[in-house]
Structure 1
């Protein structure tokens, strides 16, 4: 049976795979996400394609260390009317993100790429549309008082599975992609590979 490596330090991605009963090892990789993202934005790549490319960079990097394993790279991109957001640098930056998302509908694209034998063997991108309530500056401050620094690693400065749920009026699409991994598609691939128990 193949061995699965999750090329991510994301706690929620680990929890999703663990809760789904998947045996895996976590082996975070370092890539220059900002430089890659900025280059792809400059080349006018779509948000979906940017998520896919970043996931592939991570899977490929992990495959260098684990060449005989399946390496799963994943990434999530937030886009508002075509503009791609980066993770907030600090609390002030998080407040700016939330002010821009306030009263708007944005998209999340969560990509997953699996490498085996130094090449990509499977990929998918899940998506969701999220409509945020109109928030006052005071509401944003109160929210960040409670949610920071937990949301510092979240592209939208929120965790929709936690306190961030209060920010939204509607979420359409793949819930697992909101969390950062298109889990059902990943599980379907692992089932095809004989890596699921049931």
Structure 2
């Protein structure tokens, strides 16, 4: 098996995104993008959470691409829309508890955006949405869940990991599993084939 002539850099520190690409057999390295996400969010229309996910992905891809023009750079981000607002990562387990209690028995949407850049230019971007219905879980379950998952929940925008015990929080999920994990994987793979990172 010969090595691919095209290099891919993932501009994300997300363990879930690394696992998705690795599981799909995608060769890549990681270089975390140093961007001011708060500034991007402040300049974006809060009524467009899907567009914000894509814009954050674009900014991350460009930040890394400017330093390594020959590589393909994949940026990705995710936003959570709930009751007309955007939800950010919880700063503490107490904040995560409050957030999960607020979402109990209700619906929210996860928007996953991705962008591919080369030579300091975005050549593709896309997004996908999943609709999540949280079940009416008990306080006892919530306590057990927070104890089991711990501080790992602070790295997740919704304070849950669907690939872990967080799957028990939901009664219905409409949308793609990979989108929930933080990457619109199918269109990303298609673009990587087009770019020559993956065999067609």
TM-score class, shorter: over 0.9
Structure 1 runs, 4 residues or longer, greater than 2 Å off: 135-139
Partner of 2:119: 117
Q: Deviations over 1:153-173 (max 9, x none)?
A: 000000011100000001111
Say which of 146, 149, 164 aligns to 1:147. 149
SS at match of 1:65: coil
- Pairs within 5 Å for 1:80-99: 80-99=82-101
SS at match of 2:158: coil
Distance 1:110 1:25 in 2: 21
TM-score by length of 2: 0.93
Q: Deviations over 1:57-104 (max 9, x none)?
A: 100111122111111100000111331100000111111110111111
Say which of 24, 28, 33 aligns to 2:28. 24
**Contact preservation (8 Å) 1:47, 1:78:** yes
The alpha-carbon deviation at position 191 of structure 1 amounts to: 1.4
**Contact preservation (8 Å) 1:34, 1:86:** no
1:69 aligns with 2:71: yes
SS at match of 2:131: strand
**Contact preservation (8 Å) 2:46, 2:86:** no
- Unaligned runs of 5+ residues in structure 1 are none
Distance 1:131 1:140 in 2: 16
**Contact preservation (8 Å) 1:131, 1:169:** yes
The alpha-carbon deviation at position 150 of structure 1 amounts to: 1.5
The alpha-carbon deviation at position 151 of structure 1 amounts to: 1.4
Distance 1:98 1:38 in 2: 25
- Unaligned runs of 5+ residues in structure 2 are none
Q: Deviations over 1:24-63 (max 9, x none)?
A: 11111122223322332xx444000110111111001111
- Pairs within 5 Å for 1:30-45: 30-40=34-44, 43-45=45-47
Q: How many residues align?
A: 196
TM-score by length of 1: 0.94
Partner of 1:180: 182
**Contact preservation (8 Å) 1:47, 1:82:** no
Say which of 7, 13, 31 aligns to 2:17. 13
Partner of 2:6: 2
What's the RMSD between the two structures over aligned residues?
1.4
1:55 aligns with 2:29: no
**Contact preservation (8 Å) 1:124, 1:185:** yes
1:191 aligns with 2:193: yes
**Contact preservation (8 Å) 2:46, 2:85:** no
